[in-house]
Structure 1
Amino acid sequence: MKLLTKDKPTNDWLSAEIWKVTKLTSGFLLAMTLQVSAATETKDTKFFLNSNIPLTGNNVARKDLSVSLLTVQKTIKGKVTGTKGEPLPGVNILIKGTKIGVTTDFDGNFTIEVPDSNSILVISFTGFVTKEVSAANASNIQLEEQNQTLNEVVVVGYGTQKKGSTTGAIASVKGSALTTNASANVSNAIAGRMSGVIANNRSGRPGDDSSTLLIRGFNSFGGGTSPLVVVDGIPDRDLNRINPDDIESVTVLKDASAAIYGVRSANGVILVTTKRGKIGKPTIKFDGSYGIQQLTRMDQRVNSWEYMTYYNELNAHKGTTLPYTQSDIDKYKAGNDPNYTSTNWLKEVYRKDAPQANLSLSVNGGNEQVKYFFSGQYLNQDSNLRNSDERYRQFNLRSNIDVNISSNFKVNLDIATRKEDREYPAISIGSIMHETVSMYPFIPAYWKNGLPSSGIANGRNPILMSSSAAGYDKVINLIVNPKIGFDLKLPKITEGLSLNGYAAFDYNVRSEKKFTKPWDAYSYDRTNDSYNNVKNSTSITSVMQDEQITNQNTYFIKLAYDRKFNKHNVNAFVGYEQTTTDKTETYAYRRDLLSDQLDQIFTGSTKGQNATGGAYQDGRESYLGRVAYNYDNKYFAEVSARYNGSFNFPSATRWGLFPAVSAGWKISEESFFNNNVKGIDQLKIRASWGKMGNDDMRSDGQLNQYLFLTRYQLITDQQLYNYFGSDYTLNNSIYLSATPNPNITWEVQDSKNIGFDMAFFNNKLTATFDYFSNKRSDILTARNASVPLYTGLALPKENIGETINRGTDWSVNYADMSHSFKYSIGFNLTYAQSKVLFRDEAANIPEWQKSTGKAIDSWLVYETNGIYRTQADVDNSPHFEGAKPGDIWVKDKDNDGHITTNDKVRIPESATPKIAYGIPIRAEYKGFSIDMLWTGQSQAKQMILPQAQGAIVAPPTWLYNDRYTADNPNSKYPVAFNDSDNRNNIDADFWLRDASFFRLKSLEVSYILPENMLSRFGVLNMRIYAGGTNLFSFDHMKQYNLDPETNNTTGINYPQTRIYRVGVSIEL
């Protein structure tokens, strides 16, 4: 055979089509004519076959090729899959010792020709451990995921970096970890997943079950404390209601790395990245689950005869007439008369189980030109209120499309829409719960004939109050978030230069309609054996309609440069961002409708009507930039700055510069370390400093904007109408609502951080440690020392407050994914201790009550010595007027011989934990997997004072069973009391309890069906799973039937919930 190819390297013609189509069918010697240089004729032929020496045609030599070199080619076909059995497209497959290789197709399949079946194939793919297999065993190859915690790419402000090269305190979690939580609320799913994040879920109410998030604890007492949420680059998008299946990753910027966000960075930044399309044929994924919601703790209240006994003791202690006879108590205690029974009102109002359904569908795929990700979600959560129509429904749609116009120009078009439907009772949950715990247990929920009872008074039966009999409150929230962006590479100017940007137009319409009406309830006259309709007189027919429309536009553009020069790596950008927000509100109210069957506002009376509204504008403009440099992946430095203007402040103080610097040293890359230290794969030390801002003036829950202007407000409170007119006739009037301060500006935080990143045992064990110090200054607060509150005068707020918050956060993770049994276990912890450095406090406030020097949200309570056991205890100590044995013994802090409010003490503890931690655990074996997350908190106090709701509250069983009586003088709790008792119903350390807990936050057990079982049906992957969230807890609050996470001091909030669910995930 003679090859006439000229002026080509040998490797080129060996891979050419003529070589591919020429099949060697026997093993005998073949002759080839090779054109070689005379000077190299003596070289062995194998040298030329594996070299790139061009053939010049100067001389011709005839060489014989040995049988060992040219043998019969063998065709190998196989498939490459991931750890979950999913096909992997684009995997590199190379014959070991050569440059001959192929890549897998969209389905993970490949075909390669090898010299013989003993050839070794090297299989490599980003994110997976490189594997070598014999060609004879290459039909099914499964790659193991690589533990690359320090080398994975993480999202940072306006870009991405390898985690091993970051110099800031950054934590991240993959979206796949969040989906193992049965809660559909993302804020609940991230709890315990990352160090630096303190998350507390205060309520399990459908549609209102979000966790309170703090990054490294409290830093301010005058402004907002919530972190900034940025979704796909756009600020202020909602974290809670994103479909967890849409999330690629969540990253938290905890230190000066957040300073690139300027006046909104001081409370930390949460970056959410949603999924995008990947090259490959369309993959359709369906996930469906059904769950049951249950209350984690249900309060237990006394029965009828216990209630009567308790209130007889209460009146005896006060020296008043006993309300219940012993004969009545005995009848209820006997329980054999149907007219003398007990009602457990909590069980009548709440049901044990409430369903939850969550359905999600996505399509992912694309090619070199277009990649796409489409998804949809339907969520339905019913309420645990037994007779209520309360529920929450959510519809999510998302489309992320990337189009490569050319090799240097890419366009992306994203749109996310969501509709939230909330159906609530017309009566607030606080009022419903107040009536529930206040109800006499001897009043039945329903009379013998089925009619609902009238409650304590005015027909306020909580069963009816929570039902449609009292009306409804419907809220519809529609969100549309489109975004268009581009990425233009500029290699003709210089390699690594690019221009990119985006524009987003967020639109939100919130519509609420609340319809109230009186309801029918019945009292029972035992004497005449008759029932009387006690139509609720405290509720009227009325309709309220409120509509809020919000438009937020965000524009961003940046010029970026990313280049490597030998060992020098430079990444830099300069950018411009502008955000504007416009909000309008229209409110209408009418009462006294023509009929309680007509829920339309036009049927109401014009008397007492209210038609009002509001408008709000906000805006920020920024110039920003960052330069990141590293030398030889060993020495790192980063500088960033943002020149930021905020619409919230006057022009003279509107603009500010927020710089940040950080540096890192990867000691493990030094030769002196590598040569002398064994077992440590990576060791990096890093430090950062930054100036960060906070322009969120919402310490009271309202946006206190325009504090630099004199403001007037229209009186719209309906309760004030009668003061200015009669018969609910509205008389317009205005009043001065704020005194201006023309010099206000944002809060400023000086943030310092030093940290270490380490890896051991071939990167199986990783650890991160950070120490931080955040000093917040220019906090808006009033000069209370200059003008005390009792004068009735109010000075404008000024930037004079100061706090400091110090602590540590660290995480450790061990993962072994190299065997059939794969597992990982982690531990993350955050410790944060805040302290008020300056708060202008009135001079007449005792030193022990001042905030300065204490935690920002510390408790202010009386210190106690337990309970007065004898009259001598009372007589020999200062006490409240009228104190008797059985009352709480309060310390006389100021030693003036009297107990007054001056004796209250501000203690170190608060309801916010100083320590929060999480322990994520995962294990896999032959298709089976288990994911669990333990979370906990420590150094927090919760108030268990049970009587804060009202004078006739039924006491909880724990209080009743160990109360002070003549027969129980050594009791744990005081004598019977109600809310008007100023000796026992007080904020005191007597009622504070340790709110620490260790909780199984989430658990999921799953099984992936074998591929050979699914392939015949065209199914790529099928996973079935079962699990739950908030399954059980070890804590000190169980004896009080309170959940330590809710901080429910009065017992009138919607309780925390646990969820059990089963589901299936299918990929086609």
Structure 2
Amino acid sequence: MKLKSKAKLPLWLQFPKPLLALPLTALSILAVCRQANAKYTIKASMNTELEIRRPALDNPINIINIKGKVTDEKGLPLPGVSVRIKGTTGGTQTDTNGNYTISVPNDQATLVFSYVGYNIHEQQVGNSTSINVVLTSKNSDLSEVVVVGYGTQKKGDVVGAVSTVKGEAVLQNASPSVSNSLAGRVPGLIVSNRSGEPGADGANLLIRGLNSFGGGTSPLVVVDGIPDRDLNRLNPDDIENVTILKDASAAIYGVRSANGVILITTKRGKTGKAAIHYDGSYSIQQLTKFTHRVNAWEYMTYFNELNLNQGNTAPYAQSEIDKYKAGNDPNYTSTDWMDAVFRKNAPLNNHSLSVQGGGEQVKYYFSAQTLDQQSNLRNSDQRFKQFNIRSNIDANISPNLKVNLDIAARKENKNNPVVSLGQTLHEAVSMYPFLPVYWPNGSANAGVSNGRNPAIMTSSLPGYDRTNYYTVNPTLGFDLKLPYLVKGLSLNGYAAFDYKYVERKTFRQPWDAYTYDATSNTYSNQRSSTSILSLAQDAQLTNQNTYFLKLAYDQKFGDHSINAFAGVEQTTSNWNDTYAYRRDLLSNQLDQLFTGSTVDQNATGSASQDGRESYLGRASYAFKNKYLAEASFRHNGSFNFPTDKRWGLFPAISLGWKISEEAFFKDNIKGVDQLKFRASWGLMGNDAVAQYLYVTRYQLVNNPIYYTYFGENYTEVKNLYLSATPNPNITWEKQDTRNIGFDAAFLSNRLNVTFDAFRFLRRDILAQRNASVPQYTGLSLPPENIGKSLNRGIDFSINYNETKNNFRYNFGANFTYTKSKIIFRDESPNIPEWQKSTGYAIDSWLVYQTKGIYHTQTEVDNSPHMSGAKPGDLWLIDKSGDGNITSDDMVRVPESATPKIMYGLVMGAEYKGVALNMVWSGQAMAKQMILPQSQGSLVAPPQYLYDGRWTPENPNAEYPRAFNSTDPRNSISADFWLRNAAFLRLKTVEISYSLPTHTFEKYGIGAVKVFAGATNMFTFGSMKKYGVDPETNNITGINYPQTRIFRFGLNVNL
């Protein structure tokens, strides 16, 4: 073979020509030669002629043609199965009938068969020329590997309450935040999405309910073994699987385990040619819920009634009301201020590209993602952008040594209105609906006061609030097998360095807004009262270092299997913050601190440190694959506590019995593939409390002291004040965790059932000794570890998978019931017994009890009532029996906002490339408080409140007479305003079509899928009437609700 280079080179580059031609031609050929394990001789001459010769082979290769068919467990053909020669990138795919043909170099070659949703199968060629393969589904394989704390276990050998979610399931949800994709999928996990605001739309997560009233309640999130990495901001396409540890299986995480643990495993490289995957989508976001409010004439009518109820004169003439009601005068129109603030549709773009592959020595996974989420705020620059990159590389340095280098980096840009969303929405519901957004001359309305027009407040006219986040997460790890010491012995570990830098710039400026005098037809600018020209900058730097090392042993001796490890882990973190502020800038075109005045300037900073150190281990034992035992411990030290109280021991033990493996069971009971009973106990901790509670803390305060001497106006004197009394005995919360359950599989593993019953007893919860210090002293003691709570419940799941001919379908249901109560809380003796929280749910409601609404004056006169009560007011019950209605009559009720019941339904079907997947999520036994007029004295009432209010003409009304937030008889926490927050929501639906693999085969494209879907498509529940999302915890309902997302996308595999 001869190759000639004809490239024209500059004179100064023409010598030596062979060296120049070699990089252009021979290197690529050498790579091919190396891939084929062939030896070649290369000769180069000065005329750039390159000759490559291959020596004669002593043993010529005999190409073997292999044919075969790939089917599933039911004997149905599997099209599109990847068939390749192990150790090479060459391969083919099965056709629509599952048939394949492939050429191999010799009989020692091994074929690797892989298909999405099925286990990888390897088959050595040997003397066969026809190889038929049956692939087993991952869903039914009890040998499937499950990620647990600091290791992996076979699914059939897990003895803890562990649930998993596959990465492909996460991708079906259109939400930009990963946490929302977990809703409805697994038992024991409570997922509550409070908001759809860009960049702040992550869900609140609870594992098996609420267990603490003095510390944090969120589960620990661990990504690729590293704690505290952000779950929501991960690229969903990077996720291999999600594991939820719900019982003593989490105790291996010691002082951070009591709230449960969520483990995220990202994708890694695989042997084979580079697989390029693209996933892109365009989505439309819409608000799910918002309270519809009254129009102009209804507002005037309502506030006339309110003022008359308060003994005042009606502010609006009936003739004026009639003009607005008629609606035929352009000068008398209504403004829907919520519509002026929010728009119907907002776009969302998400694109991800990944490359996965490798050889026997090096495997790799690379990915990049870009996300652009706009806001449903009208006329707003609010926007969230995210860019993720990831590189996971595994290398075999030697037969016994593997190393990995993982690097993940992320940039986030969050642009918010400078006026807070809460303030804007408050103004929106407080605005007179008879005021226009803009006056006839086009200038902005100044609103009720100070130019606070909510349509302007969401725009960039008042300034901006921009935050940039930069995150880098490198991890370097190794795995060293030590068979020359002890067979089955290994040493592995990693070092992880997490860096996060946050810079925020908040620029405020006055804006133009006008009042209008119709009599003189003049406008007055309220610019001077809107804001001042100012700038604030904040910079935060956080770095966390994690080091882990473990010595592991894994071996089998006849009927005995042992897996054990002992390890050490250390995590340290540092946080630094710098803040600066100046006002009265020279110009709004110079948004820099140096242009500001020194008057009222502020420059400050703060810092904090944190750290934990641990010695941990676990041992698992199995006898005849029937009797399972596991024990773990963690000796944990936490920086949050005094030096003599930083260390604690967190042991756990779990037992399992595969009764289905017993001879008496197999011989007498048919149709049961597996029945395994499990029991676990563990002592777990929670150190999610405020830092430095054990030391005396002081606050530095600036006190201006005024002087008139020597022409000085004033000076500032810094003083230290005692800000908190220390508790030198503070320690972590401790939880006694007990769980019993079983796993069962039937019908050739097509039907799977899990059931668990649990009991969490948490003690040493931080609380104050309110009973020890009389209230009249005005003193308070520091929090102490004296609280105690109990949480009991059950959770279970049922999953069924079936394939008939070309039709595959699956159905799953999961259910969780939790009931928590406070066992001890040192409550003041002055509190009536019926108000004490002991014995009730941790977040139970304290409310006035009611008998409905007073209909007549006689009812008012003949019952205890608040001063000024009249027909149409809430009928409050005198619980104390003293003949008066006071705060002592409020009663603790069993209901709370945290649902006692959570459930989900997971459904899927696929036929000849067309697939439909749905996830339903629901909750029950939860009560949400709605206080429709609590936002302020001028709040426009919701439509339902106006239509159903009490009036003399409507004495049997559903709601009280006209009132506002200042009304002490109606705008109060009462059981009248508690509403059933039960719901069933279509959380995720996706329909897709996978084109036949041969469609784009000639272009090198392996698979193409188009899909359309929706998230939060619709909801069934009684809260819909009030325009409040049942997942919210906002009693006013005035917030940025979660969004309904319609998505259209494309998946391409090369």
Seen in structure 2, the aligned counterparts of structure 1 residues 876 and 1047 have a Cα distance that, compared at 3 Å, is same
- Matching residue's letter, 1:550: T
Give yes or no for the alignment of 1:930 onto 2:913. Answer: no
Matched ranges for 1:508-547 at <5 A: 508-535=500-527, 537-547=529-539
1:188-337 equivalence runs, <5 A: 188-337=180-329
Match of 2:964 in 1: 978
Structure 2 Cα separation of the partners of residues 150 and 103 of structure 1: 30
Distance change (3 Å), C-alpha of 1:238 and 1:21: closer
Deviation at 1:632, TM superposition (A): 1.2
| 1:144 Cα offset (Å) | 6.3
Give the Cα separation in 2 of the matches to 1:814 and 1:667: 22
> Which secondary structure does the structure 2 equivalent of 1:230 belong to?
strand
Q: Is 1:661 matched with 2:643?
A: no
The residue that corresponds to 2:8 in the other structure is none
User: Which position in structure 2 is the counterpart of 1:424?
Assistant: 416
Aligned equivalents of 2:693, 2:920: Cα separation in 1: 44
The one-character-per-residue Cα deviations of 1:748-771 (angstroms, maximum 9, x if unpaired) are 000000011001101000000000
1:784 to 733, 755, 770: 770
User: Paired residue for 2:14?
Assistant: none
1:787 Cα deviation (Å)?
1.5
Q: Are residues 470 and 139 of structure 1, via their aligned partners in 2, closer, same or farther at CA, if it must alter by over 3 Å?
A: farther
Matched residue, 1:351: 343
Q: In 2, distance between residues paired with 1:513 and 1:419?
A: 16
The residue matched to 1:1013 in structure 2 has which SS? coil
Aligned to 1:390: 382
CA distance in 2: counterparts of 1:838 and 1:893, whole angstroms: 24
- Give the whole-Å Cα distance in 2 for the aligned partners of 1:539 and 1:84: 67
**CA distance in 2 between partners of 1:750 and 1:556 (Å):** 27
Q: Is the 8 A contact 1:103 1:110 kept in 2?
A: no
- Contact kept, 8 Å, 2:584 with 2:596, in 1: the verdict is yes
Aligned to 2:30: none
Aligned with 2:199: secondary structure? coil
Residue 616 (1) aligns with residue 602 (2): no
Residues 1013-1064 of structure 1, C-alpha deviations (whole Å, 9 max, x = no match): 1101110111000001000000001111111112331132111111001000
Structure 1 residue aligned with 2:562, among 570, 573, 583? 570
Correspondence for 2:50: none
Match of 2:442 in 1: 450
Match in the other structure for 1:957: 943
Match of 1:793 in 2: 779
1:705 corresponds to = 691
Between 819-828 and 147-156, the greater mean CA deviation after superposition: 147-156
Contact 2:533-2:583 at 8 Å conserved across structures: yes
Instruction: Report the number of matched residues.
Output: 976
How far apart in 1 are the matches of 2:937 and 2:692? 42
1:587 aligned residue: 579
Mapped contact 1:996–1:1035 kept (Cα < 8 A): yes
- Give yes or no for contact 2:185–2:904 (8 Å, CA) kept in 1: yes
Distance 1:867 1:721, change over 3 A: farther
8 Å CA contact 2:761, 2:789 repeated in 1: yes
Matched AA of 2:281: S
Partner SS state of residue 601, structure 2: strand
Find the aligned partners of 2:707 and 2:625 in 1 and give their Cα distance: 74
**Cα distance change on mapping 1:837 and 1:113 into 2, 3 Å:** closer
- CA-to-aligned-CA distance 1:38-70 (integer Å, 9 cap, x gap): xxxxxxxxxxxxxxxxxxxxxxxxxxxxxxxxx
1:1006 partnered with 2:992: yes
Is contact 2:92–2:102 with CA below 8 Å preserved after alignment? no
Question: d(CA) in 2 for partners of 1:524 and 1:576?
Answer: 72
Evaluate the alpha carbon distance shift between residue 140 and residue 180 of structure 1 in structure 2; reply closer, same or farther with a 3 A threshold: farther
Q: How does 1:545-944 map to 2 (within 5 A)?
A: 545-697=537-689, 704-715=690-701, 731-817=717-803, 819-944=805-930
3-state SS in 2 of match to 1:581: strand
2:650 aligns to what SS in structure 1?
strand
Structure 1 CA distance, aligned partners of 2:338 and 2:128?
68
Structure 2: distance between partners of 1:894 and 1:957: 36
Q: Which residue of 1 aligns with 2:465?
A: 473
User: 1:36 — aligned with what?
Assistant: none
Q: CA deviation at 1:715?
A: 2.8
Residue identity matched to 1:747 = E
Per-residue CA deviation, residues 284-335 of structure 1 (Å, 9 max, x unaligned), is 1111100000000122110000000000001111111110111110111111
What is residue 437 of structure 1 aligned with on the other side? Answer: 429
Task: For 1:745 and 1:923, locate their aligned partners in 2 and report how far apart those are by CA, in whole Å.
Answer: 51
Shift of 1:485: 0.1
Partner amino acid for 2:522? S
Equivalence for 1:42: none
Aligned residue identity for 1:918: G
1:122 and 1:22 map into 2 onto residues whose CA distance is: 20
- CA change 1:536–1:888 in 2 (3 A) is farther
Do 2:138 and 2:144's aligned partners in 1 also have CA atoms closer than 8 Å?
A: no
Q: Percent identity?
A: 62
Distance 1:771 1:826 in 2: 19
Q: Which amino acid aligns with 1:494?
A: V
Contact 2:616–2:634, Cα closer than 8 Å, also in 1? yes
Q: Deviations over 1:116-136 (max 9, x none)?
A: xxxxx998999449899xx99
Distance 1:254 1:520 in 2: 55
Q: 1:104 to 1:502 in 2, by over 3 A?
A: closer
Q: Distance in 2 between matches of 1:467 and 1:436?
A: 14
Listed one character per residue, the Cα deviations across residues 360-403 of structure 1 (whole Å, up to 9, x for unaligned) are: 00000000000000000000000000011001000000000000
Amino acid of the structure 2 residue aligned with 1:922:
G
Residue in structure 1 matched with residue 1021 of structure 2 by the alignment: 1035
What is the alpha-carbon distance in structure 1 between the residues aligned to residue 190 and residue 206 of structure 2?
5
User: Could you tell me which amino acid in structure 2 is paired with residue 145 of structure 1?
Assistant: S
Instruction: Give the corresponding residue for 1:88.
Output: 82
**CA contact 1:607–1:729 (8 Å) conserved in 2:** no
Q: Which runs of 5+ in 1 are unaligned?
A: 1-16, 24-73, 93-101, 115-120, 698-703
Shift of 1:818: 5.8
Contact 1:129–1:146, Cα closer than 8 Å, also in 2: no
Deviation at 1:734?
2.4
Q: Structure 1 residues 232, 653: CA separation in 2 closer, same or farther (over 3 Å shift)?
A: same
SS at match of 2:230: coil
Describe the SS at the equivalent of 1:147.
helix
- Give the distance between the partners of 1:509 and 1:84, measured in 2 at CA: 49
Is contact 2:878-2:885 (8 Å) kept? yes
1:648 maps to amino acid = N
TM-score, normalised via structure 2 length:
0.89
Instruction: Kindly state the Cα deviation for residue 591 of structure 1 after the two structures are TM-superposed.
Output: 1.5
| Partner Cα separation in structure 1 for residue 137 and residue 314 of structure 2 | 74
* Distance in 1 between residues matched to 2:622 and 2:856, nearest whole Å: 74
8 Å contact from structure 2 (residues 850, 974) kept in 1: yes
Unaligned runs of 5+ in 2: 1-56, 94-99, 106-110
Judging changes above 3 Å, is the alpha-carbon distance between structure 1 residues 812 and 992 closer, same or farther for their aligned structure 2 residues?
Answer: same
Q: Which amino acid aligns with 1:254?
A: K
- Pair 347,914 (structure 1): closer, same or farther in 2 beyond 3 Å: same
For 1:778, give the aligned amino acid: D
Residues in 2 aligned to 1:142 and 1:668: alpha-carbon distance in whole angstroms? 25
User: Residue deviations 1:267-300, cap 9 Å, x none?
Assistant: 0000000000000000111111000000001221
Once the two structures are superposed, what CA deviation does each residue of 1:539-592 show, in whole Å capped at 9, x if it has no partner? Answer: 211111111100100000000000011111100000000000011100111122
AA in 2 matched with 1:776: R
Match 1:1021 to one of 1001, 1007, 1013: 1007
- Structure 1 position 151, deviation (Å): 3.2
SS of the equivalent of 1:607 reads strand
